[in-house]
Structure 1
Amino acid sequence: MAEETKPVLQKPPGYKDPNVPIPSAPKPQIRKQPLPVSFQPRRKRRGFCRFCLCFLCVFLLLLIFLIAAAGAVFYLWFHPKLPIYRLQSIQFARFNVSVTADGTYLDSQTVVRFEVENPNQNKITFYYGQNEVGMTVDDDVDLGSASIPGFSQAKRNITVLKFTIQVKHELINDAEGPKLKAQFGSKIMAVNVGIRTRFGVGLAKWKLGKVPTNVLCRNVKLKQLNGVTTPQCTIKLLRWINLG
């Protein structure tokens, strides 16, 4: 007797055979996000900045070298000399010290003369701005100040500057009054005279800019100004370069 055949059952949809290994799903690849434009390196711009910086440094060095070379040639060719200031005279038209119950007062009128020389023997000329002079005694007692307009000097020229300065009813220290009287009478009073101006140099049609200049004559005693000797003063350019 023949065996009966069993019908083959159809696998339902979605059926998974437990004996078949499950294939692993591939890992998703990580994609790098592009950087914003502002964060991207700027190689070209950096290279251009370096080039500009190097060019500027080379240009400055070359400019300094040319200026130094031109200054050396100018000095060797012309042998320039600075102006010479001499305190020529100090004449007191009035010097009165009065002691009152209110204090000690000074009345003074002084004529100060300076001698300014351009010692150059070539075409170098000097130009001066407004000249302001002041005079003190021991840096404590002010004897007044005055000013005169600027001027120019040709080669081997000597110019006399005249200032009239005065103080009226100036209150001073009581201890200074008798000392000033005694020193003035014996001509041992030492004064400090200074000039503030602006100084420039010219050569033919060329003119260099003016620089601040201080001229100072310190501790000059009245008896030194006897008409025979004229004290030479110290010159300072730019307020701090002492030229002796």
Structure 2
Amino acid sequence: MAEQPLKPVLQKPPGYRDPSRPIQPGTRPPPRKPALPPSFKPMKRRRSCCRACCCFLCVFFLVLVVVVAVAFGLFYLWFQPRLPVFHLQSFQIPRFTVTAKADGTYLDAQTVTRVEVKNPNGKLSLFYKQSTVKVTFSVGHEEDTEVGSKDVPEFTQGMANTTSIKVETGVKNQLVDDGEGRQLKARFHSQELVVNVEVRSGVGFFVDGLRIGPLGVKVLCGGVSLKKLETGDMPKCTVTTLKWINIS
């Protein structure tokens, strides 16, 4: 009996899986982190630099404030700085005329004021910026009648020195209210006219040629009648600065 020829062995195709072989679970790769854009990436180095700069600036300003406070305290204890003292030395009205015309009432007046300024500091000189002196008359109205103003050039005052400032002001043909004009005229003749002198200036200190300041000051002198001024009863002036008052 003849032998049957052998059948060729079939090759398994690629990817073939034996259905009789049990399936073994495979290990999954770890999940990838989502890629962030460059703007969302943390910048630890930049943050640390900014934090260091902020800390340095805070410490610098704190040290600066402490140094300035200590220097100011030593300056105050050693020199004991004080503001100047103002007095109204004299006040005169060489000319005063109130004229009632058909078109209104006019005031023509001239004043001569002397203000005495004392430097109470024995270790400090003072310097004064350009000052403005204003003179007003008061007759009981809400607003006073201004009789002109004048600027005084800046000047320097030595230690424990006294300086007298002369200021001349005036108005010509200044229109005033009719009732105000009558009261001004009547009170001038009866010596009951109240005068006020206001000085606005800036005061600073001299320390070994070094200027400290100036500090703005407002000086009010007057509030008294001509009758009291003629008796030599010169009023005290009030110096106002930085919301505190020094009455001299």
TM-score, with normalisation over the residues of structure 2?
0.82
Residue 88 of structure 1 contacts residue 225 of structure 1 at CA under 8 Å; is this kept in 2?
no
Residue 201 of structure 1 contacts residue 207 of structure 1 at CA under 8 Å; is this kept in 2?
yes
Can you list the C-alpha shifts for 1:220-243, whole angstroms capped at 9, x where unaligned?
3222323633322122335x4433
d(CA) in 1 for partners of 2:6 and 2:44? Answer: 80
Please state if 1:133 is matched with 2:133: yes
Please state if 1:204 is matched with 2:208: yes
Can you list the C-alpha shifts for 1:33-89, whole angstroms capped at 9, x where unaligned?
433333222223222322322332233232222222222222222232210011112
Q: Which residue of 2 aligns with 1:107?
A: 108
The correspondence of residues 1-244 of structure 1 with structure 2, limited to 5 A, is 30-120=31-121, 122-138=122-138, 139-217=143-221, 219-226=223-230, 228-237=232-241, 240-244=243-247
Query: Match for 1:210: what amino acid?
Result: P
Residue 119 of structure 1 contacts residue 155 of structure 1 at CA under 8 Å; is this kept in 2?
yes
Query: Match for 2:245: what amino acid?
Result: N
d(CA) in 1 for partners of 2:6 and 2:12? Answer: 18
Residue 89 of structure 1 contacts residue 227 of structure 1 at CA under 8 Å; is this kept in 2?
no
Query: Match for 2:167: what amino acid?
Result: F
Can you list the C-alpha shifts for 1:115-156, whole angstroms capped at 9, x where unaligned?
000112x23100011121112234331111111211111112
d(CA) in 1 for partners of 2:233 and 2:62? Answer: 48
d(CA) in 2 for partners of 1:215 and 1:16? Answer: 110
Q: CA RMSD in A?
A: 3.0
d(CA) in 2 for partners of 1:21 and 1:106? Answer: 124
User: CA 1:181–1:63 in 2, change beyond 3 Å: closer, same or farther?
Assistant: same
User: CA 1:39–1:82 in 2, change beyond 3 Å: closer, same or farther?
Assistant: same
Q: Any stretches of 5+ residues in structure 1 without a counterpart? A: none
d(CA) in 2 for partners of 1:6 and 1:59? Answer: 100
Q: Any stretches of 5+ residues in structure 2 without a counterpart? A: none
User: CA 1:54–1:29 in 2, change beyond 3 Å: closer, same or farther?
Assistant: closer
Residue 88 of structure 2 contacts residue 222 of structure 2 at CA under 8 Å; is this kept in 1?
no
User: CA 1:48–1:220 in 2, change beyond 3 Å: closer, same or farther?
Assistant: farther
Can you list the C-alpha shifts for 1:102-122, whole angstroms capped at 9, x where unaligned?
1111111111110000112x2
d(CA) in 2 for partners of 1:61 and 1:218? Answer: 46
User: CA 1:78–1:174 in 2, change beyond 3 Å: closer, same or farther?
Assistant: same
Aligned positions, number: 242
Q: Following TM superposition, by how much is the alpha carbon of 1:206 offset from its aligned partner in structure 2, in angstroms?
A: 2.3
